[in-house]
Chain A
């Protein structure tokens, strides 16, 4: 995974918003994934168009007070989302 790679959500997940968190369930895979507030925000930005660096830039603009830590946080979150099967890279 590089900053140029483009993540997109894996299709087929049903969503439930639970307070600030999100729960994803894939009936075909019988898999449930819990996303905290940050992970759900990043997951929703994985549209198959924006690259990893696009997502980082967008979040740095939205949260300038956290611009230093955002690149590492986004990279870690995307790695975890991929391991969980919630996203793939195109």
Chain B
């Protein structure tokens, strides 16, 4: 197809290329990759394409693995492209630890919020950004080998229907689809190109009706949980095990069970302000 524009995207030692054609496709790409690190490097993890046909107005998203989406829903197309691109960047990531986690920062100090889908990490991150934190990512955090400087994959937050209230804020761009809402905080709150220093790892777990509490984790528990969210183990020396163990030794970690995101936000803010809960016996 003629008229294809393209941009390279780099993250965590990995590169992809996005090709796009058509007005709506261009808008989707701008929305998804506005704050991504550009690159002219060869796309080691392949080329992705989104096209908006002039005739029937159908959006098509394709990845190296095949067609990821065809239809007329821009939100669903964006969701499909974001998922495919994130997966590819994860698969090629090297030179540091890539964690499945959200991340935010305040005054140059970062908090990593690892968790599976449904743990409440994205809702908590969105809430903290609304409270003035910088947004790094809702899904992929990269710690370069041997350091605590954090880099987030600056994609729009992928918010489940239950968490939409946390992102209903002025100045946030949003793209809805039947399964999720993608939202982008204002540019002033995006930590593009900024690398805050990791201050704490907080493992959130949303539990309906629970009283919010932050519990310190022993180093062994931190290590176990960090290994479970390490996405690029197969690309690292010894599967990243020594590096994760060192991170567990040097960085405080907590389990955060919460039933109210405002309470959870206050606990995280107190933690960053230097008021951590006492270790359990």
Task: Contact check, B241 vs A25: say whether CB atoms are below 8 A apart.
Answer: yes
Task: Contact check, B218 vs A23: say whether CB atoms are below 8 A apart.
Answer: no
Nearest-CB distance from A22 to chain B (Å)?
7
Interface centre among A21, A23, A36 (most CB of B within 10 A): A23
Task: Contact check, A23 vs B238: say whether CB atoms are below 8 A apart.
Answer: no
Is A11 on the interface with B (CB-CB < 8 A)?
no
- Scan residues 12-35 of chain A and give those whose CB is less than 8 A from a CB of chain B: 14, 16, 18-23, 25, 27, 30, 32-35
CB-defined contacts of A25 to chain B, threshold 8 Å: 227, 239, 241
Q: Nearest CB to that of A19 among chain B residues?
A: B219
Is B161 on the interface with A (CB-CB < 8 A)?
no
User: Given contacts A32-B227, A32-B228, is CB(A14)–CB(B220) below 8 Å?
Assistant: no
Task: Contact check, B223 vs A27: say whether CB atoms are below 8 A apart.
Answer: no
Task: Contact check, B239 vs A36: say whether CB atoms are below 8 A apart.
Answer: no
Summed over the interface, the residue pairs from A and B with CB atoms below 8 Å come to a total of: 52
Task: Contact check, A36 vs B220: say whether CB atoms are below 8 A apart.
Answer: yes
CB-defined contacts of B242 to chain A, threshold 8 Å: 14, 16
Task: Contact check, A23 vs B223: say whether CB atoms are below 8 A apart.
Answer: yes
Interface size class of A (residues with CB under 8 A): 10 to 19
Number of interface residues of B (CB under 8 A): 17
User: Given contacts A14-B241, A30-B233, A30-B239, is CB(A21)–CB(B220) below 8 Å?
Assistant: yes
Task: Contact check, A19 vs B218: say whether CB atoms are below 8 A apart.
Answer: yes
Nearest-CB distance from A41 to chain B (Å)?
14
- Scan residues 27-70 of chain A and give those whose CB is less than 8 A from a CB of chain B: 27, 30, 32-36
Task: Contact check, A34 vs B221: say whether CB atoms are below 8 A apart.
Answer: yes
CB-defined contacts of A30 to chain B, threshold 8 Å: 233, 239
Task: Contact check, A27 vs B220: say whether CB atoms are below 8 A apart.
Answer: no
Is B249 on the interface with A (CB-CB < 8 A)?
yes
CB-defined contacts of B245 to chain A, threshold 8 Å: 16, 18, 23
Is B248 on the interface with A (CB-CB < 8 A)?
yes
Docked complex Cα distance between A68 and B220 (Å): 28
Task: Contact check, A18 vs B238: say whether CB atoms are below 8 A apart.
Answer: no
A-B contact pairs, 12 of them (CB 8 A): A14-B238, A16-B223, A18-B219, A18-B248, A21-B219, A21-B220, A23-B227, A23-B248, A25-B227, A32-B227, A34-B224, A35-B220
The 6 closest A-B pairs by CB, nearest first: A21-B220, A16-B245, A18-B219, A34-B224, A32-B227, A25-B241
**Which positions in B face A, CB cutoff 8 Å?**
218-224, 227-228, 233, 238-239, 241-242, 245, 248-249
Q: A16-B245, A23-B241, A32-B224 are in contact. List 5 more A-B contacts (CB 8 A).
A: A16-B242, A21-B218, A27-B241, A34-B220, A34-B221
